[in-house]
Structure 1
Amino acid sequence: MARAIAVVLALLTASHALGERVLILYPQVREPYTKIYQDTLEGIAEVYKGGHTLLAITPGQHLEPGVIARAAPNLYVALGNDAARELGIVAPEGPVITTASQDVDFKVRHQLTYYPDPDTLITQLQRFQPGIRSLFLVAESDTDAYEDRVRETLARAGIGLRVCAAGSLAAAAVCYRQLLDAATTRDAIWILHGGKLLEPALLTNILSTAWERQLTVLSSNPDHVRRGALLSLYPDNLSAGRQLGDMITACLAPGKCTRSETSYLRTMGVALNERT
């Protein structure tokens, strides 16, 4: 299989002297998805001023180990699942900062997960709907650690979190029906997950029921606001890049990046439905 890796930006000689050898990998994707990574890389560059190498990964083609050896990085950044998978094959020892949602086995992995940081979530919720006393969420079981963080943060503000676990669309539909039946005007339905836990007919049912019963709906998709959700907190790729830049700077400090940890987005895009 052909190997295609495009070196977009050469490693700066001065940064070698400073010990800053950062290798950033991102996927080559078609429009309109290229803008996701363009904005992310722009955000990184706004914050992290050290030298680095950018490698564009062609999905389905393998990363050449010699490229890694020549760059000799002391920190990797893998944007997206394709970049993380390829890096995990040739350099699993890390340390790695990654936005991948898939669980790639790195020795030291600093994960930026594209869910709202719990403090950001509570700030925006209290800003736009201060009377809410409970959040109702349908979630997959692999978000347990995030749910625990959210639950602790909400509890400090006197807000509860009720979670219904679902592993399929059918199970999610049952969960949403149960949560909608139990909800009052002081509760909010939180649509965190799309994908296999949501499809158009189910979304229509959630939003129409919420409208009829004057229930608040919070979503991670700004398109849902146009369809009736009150509020959407969604990833802003430029801001995510800036946060990654902060993470790079922190990881390069002596004694840092020695154990795995997970961070969440501190700055989110906000869409508000002013008609509801």
Structure 2
Amino acid sequence: MFEQIIAGIEGRIGGPARKVVVDRGVKPDNARHELGRHNPKVVIPLGREGIEMVAAGNPDVPVIAGAILHPSPSTARFHTTVTLNTDPLLLFGRLKSVAPATKRIIVIHDPNKSEGVIRAANDAAGQLGLDLTVIKVRDRRSAAWMYEAVFSSIDGSKDVVWLPTDTTTVDDTVILPLILEQSWKRSFPVISSTPSHMERGVLLALYPDYSKIGNALGSIAIDAVGGGARNGAVFSRQVQAAVNERTARHLGLKLSDDLRRQFDAVFPALAPLSR
């Protein structure tokens, strides 16, 4: 992931970037020394450790952060933070193109993991005329119970379950198989922000295009050096889209040739896993 992002940055700025590998537990004095030694015009930390190191160094140049799912307190004073979370407006818009009868999206999430993206999802749903049902939980056991409650009343003709990037409510070994089994049995769509879910029966997913995210980070860095305005934390709009054609057929959804060409990947799909 980092290599693809860095390649995208270098492609945008038209030359090599100076790369510094960060060890965990870097002390603030060491961070300031490292930043001072290179005398950069702009700094682009990637990942949690890189961001913490740069924050500790407190540089007086613009900082453009990337390669994290959720902003942290350390990123609050940065020029811009581009998260790996896909803009929900893109995901929901793509859903409407595949399943136009959709009326309601149901999401179960842990506020400690995904509160920011849920706020954006509420706005996105409103723009697209969709209802967003948000259910908050604090642990995986509660998440499993709430999914069971949702399954008992879901209407597959108009309801969709969304799996956010939330490790509390989307566990690949227990909860995901449960969701996919019920999706197949009760014929309701599931959408995700995780590409590995596609082969297991999710209808569609939008996920980061790391090279293009690098391009975006490079563009923001160039703009920041020129005095461009701060952007704060933003969601990624540099994404790839995948659809599971076998799941679509099972749900009675037809993918036209034109619609199929709008996806970066079309999966033949596997049968959903049983518990």
Shorter-chain TM-score: which interval?
Answer: 0.7 to 0.9
Give 1:151-166 correspondences, 5 Å limit: 151-166=122-137
1:19-59 per-residue CA deviation (whole Å, 9 max, x = no partner) reads xxxxxxxxxxxxxxxxx111001111222337743212233
Q: Give the structure 2 partner of residue 47 of structure 1.
A: 12
1:120-175 per-residue CA deviation (whole Å, 9 max, x = no partner) reads 12331122222211111112214333222222222122111111112211122122
Q: How much does 1:236 deviate? A: 2.0
Show structure 1 runs of 4+ deviating over 6 A.
none
RMSD: 2.2
Match of 1:105 among 66, 74, 79: 74
* Aligned residue identity for 2:146: C
| Higher percent of residues as strand | 1
Match of 1:118 among 66, 82, 88: 88
Give 1:230-245 correspondences, 5 Å limit: 230-245=203-218
Q: SS state of the match for residue 55, structure 1?
A: coil
Q: Is the 8 A contact 2:42 2:62 kept in 1?
A: yes
Q: How much does 1:184 deviate? A: 1.1
Instruction: Flag the 1:194–1:141 CA change in 2: closer, same or farther, 3 A.
Output: closer
Q: Give the structure 1 partner of residue 3 of structure 2.
A: 38
In the alignment, the residues of structure 1 paired with residue 95 and residue 197 of structure 2 have an alpha-carbon distance, to the nearest angstrom, of 16
In the alignment, the residues of structure 1 paired with residue 244 and residue 121 of structure 2 have an alpha-carbon distance, to the nearest angstrom, of 24
Q: How much does 1:179 deviate? A: 2.5
The two structures have a TM-score, normalised by structure 1, of: 0.78
Q: Give the structure 2 partner of residue 29 of structure 1.
A: none
Moved more, 217-226 or 172-181: 172-181
Q: Give the structure 1 partner of residue 151 of structure 2.
A: 180
Q: Give the structure 2 partner of residue 18 of structure 1.
A: none
In the alignment, the residues of structure 2 paired with residue 75 and residue 176 of structure 1 have an alpha-carbon distance, to the nearest angstrom, of 45
Q: How much does 1:60 deviate? A: 4.4
In the alignment, the residues of structure 2 paired with residue 250 and residue 163 of structure 1 have an alpha-carbon distance, to the nearest angstrom, of 37
Q: Is the 8 A contact 1:92 1:105 kept in 2?
A: no
Runs (5+) with no aligned partner, structure 1: 1-35
Q: SS state of the match for residue 168, structure 2?
A: helix
In the alignment, the residues of structure 2 paired with residue 213 and residue 223 of structure 1 have an alpha-carbon distance, to the nearest angstrom, of 22
Q: SS state of the match for residue 233, structure 1?
A: strand
In the alignment, the residues of structure 1 paired with residue 196 and residue 37 of structure 2 have an alpha-carbon distance, to the nearest angstrom, of 44
Q: How much does 1:251 deviate? A: 1.9
Percent identical:
23
1:208-266 per-residue CA deviation (whole Å, 9 max, x = no partner) reads 11111110000122222211111121222112212212221232232523xx6111111
Instruction: Flag the 1:121–1:198 CA change in 2: closer, same or farther, 3 A.
Output: closer
Q: Give the structure 1 partner of residue 187 of structure 2.
A: 214
Q: Give the structure 2 partner of residue 77 of structure 1.
A: 44
Give 1:138-157 correspondences, 5 Å limit: 138-142=108-112, 143-157=114-128
1:57-95 per-residue CA deviation (whole Å, 9 max, x = no partner) reads 233455443221122234321100011112222226664
Give 1:237-256 correspondences, 5 Å limit: 237-256=210-229
Q: Is the 8 A contact 1:139 1:193 kept in 2?
A: no
In the alignment, the residues of structure 2 paired with residue 224 and residue 194 of structure 1 have an alpha-carbon distance, to the nearest angstrom, of 13
In the alignment, the residues of structure 2 paired with residue 48 and residue 177 of structure 1 have an alpha-carbon distance, to the nearest angstrom, of 50
In the alignment, the residues of structure 2 paired with residue 94 and residue 162 of structure 1 have an alpha-carbon distance, to the nearest angstrom, of 42
Q: Give the structure 2 partner of residue 32 of structure 1.
A: none
Instruction: Flag the 1:69–1:56 CA change in 2: closer, same or farther, 3 A.
Output: same
Instruction: Flag the 1:181–1:253 CA change in 2: closer, same or farther, 3 A.
Output: farther
Q: Is the 8 A contact 2:151 2:182 kept in 1?
A: yes
Q: SS state of the match for residue 66, structure 1?
A: helix
